[in-house]
A = this chain, B = another copy of it.
Amino acid sequence: MQTLNVALGDRAYPIHIGRGLLGRAELVLARLKTPRVAIVTNDTVGPLYLGGLRAALEQAGVNVSVVSLPDGEAYKTWETLNRIFDMLLTERCERSTTLVALGGGVVGDMGGFAAACYQRGMPFIQIPTTLLAQVDSSVGGKTAINHPLGKNMIGAFYQPRLVLADIDTLATLPDRELAAGLAEVIKYGLIRDSDFLAWLEASLERLRARDPEALMYAIERSCRNKAEVVAADETEQGERALLNLGHTFGHAIETGLGYGEWLHGEAVAAGTMMAAELSRRLGWLAAGDVDRIEALFVRAKLPVWGPKLGAARYLALMAHDKKVEAGRLRLVLLHALGRARVHGEAALSEIAAAIEARCR
């Protein structure tokens, strides 16, 4: 087991990464306020991993309540969130009860937002079971639900007290979801860690084959990158925005197609290609750099072309994004491989051209 620390003062918390962690109740117990938890999971993950976690916690004397949600981004809505509140109130959970999110990014985002709001805030633990959640969404305290007009529009910054990333849960992850997680792993290489990018280019097939040692390394290095960024800029006033490489374009794809058509990581990959193409048009990246990114996504079995929604529709959807300031689109672009920056000066016509060039 490896342990990282997210340095956020009195809200600092550990990230444990390793094998067999779901059965180690003592790791959870150490972070509980009272021996009482409410587990939020979904109908796919629950049948696989809830039994073991629950048994371990109950054997350690913890009182456990559970709610299982339908699986998928399409359910990241207020209606589903209300099912969590109904359970918490019906089971008389208190402000000191700890909410445990067991599942992927959607479960973590909704569980975390429910924890942020229930009685104005209850303690919260993330147990991510997908690669995407382990390397990205479970770390850093971003929680949210979607609105029909925009992804992650309603939410809170709310830090967990613990992140428990059990690599063993990746054994049951569908190939498509593994690939989606790799999109966020590759992101860290692109925005701030060119050595990691080189390692990924050398090791991608080991990751696709789920080599535990390679997964462990990629997760640990991704979380370390994320923890550093979050510690420096918790509420995204500056550097943290760089983590959104490909996300503004990607959110337009997700919202435009309807939530759940593309996986988040898939939309991020296609969106990153748009950001790379725009960076090339601005003279920041060479054509060979764009090819390198594309080759890596292709090996990861990720889409490198966006759906043909039309540039006007992309721009309209992007205008709802949280990265809009004073009416201008603020986009994360690449100055070089391993170096990102926020750019708010690109002409709409230039952005539209980059989108068109990367749709097929």
The residues in A between 193 and 234 inclusive whose CB is less than 8 angstroms from any CB of B are: none
Q: Is B324 within 8 A of A156, CB to CB?
A: no
The stretch that binds B, out of A116-124, A174-182, A306-314, is A116-124
Q: Is A320 within 8 A of B89, CB to CB?
A: yes
Q: Which residues of B contact A78 (CB under 8 A)?
A: 78, 82
Candidates B121, B147, B149, B157; contact of A121 at CB < 8 Å = B157
Q: Is B156 within 8 A of A117, CB to CB?
A: yes
The stretch that binds B, out of A15-23, A92-100, A277-285, A293-301, is A92-100
Q: Is B155 within 8 A of A117, CB to CB?
A: yes
Copy number of this protein in the oligomer? Answer: 2
Q: Mark A150-167, 1 if CB is under 8 A from B, else 0.
A: 100111110000000000
Q: Is B82 within 8 A of A116, CB to CB?
A: no
Q: Is B119 within 8 A of A322, CB to CB?
A: yes
> Complex formed: what's the CA distance from A95 to B118 in Å?
23
Instruction: Determine whether A325 belongs to the interface, using a CB cutoff of 8 Å to chain B.
Output: yes
Q: Is A153 within 8 A of B121, CB to CB?
A: no
Q: Is B156 within 8 A of A116, CB to CB?
A: yes
Q: Is B147 within 8 A of A89, CB to CB?
A: yes
Instruction: Determine whether A352 belongs to the interface, using a CB cutoff of 8 Å to chain B.
Output: no
Instruction: Determine whether A192 belongs to the interface, using a CB cutoff of 8 Å to chain B.
Output: no
What is the CB-to-nearest-CB distance from A234 to chain B, in angstroms, rounded to a whole number?
11
Q: Is A154 within 8 A of B118, CB to CB?
A: yes
Instruction: Determine whether A326 belongs to the interface, using a CB cutoff of 8 Å to chain B.
Output: yes
Candidates B86, B120, B319; contact of A92 at CB < 8 Å = B319
Q: Which residues of B contact A235 (CB under 8 A)?
A: 120-121
Q: Is B325 within 8 A of A96, CB to CB?
A: yes
> Complex formed: what's the CA distance from A324 to B96 in Å?
9
Candidates B117, B147, B150; contact of A154 at CB < 8 Å = B117
A-B contact pairs, 7 of them (CB 8 A): A34-B326, A96-B326, A117-B117, A117-B154, A117-B155, A117-B156, A121-B157
New contact pairs (9) apart from A120-B142, A120-B144, CB-CB < 8 Å: A78-B82, A85-B153, A94-B326, A96-B325, A119-B153, A119-B155, A120-B157, A121-B156, A121-B235
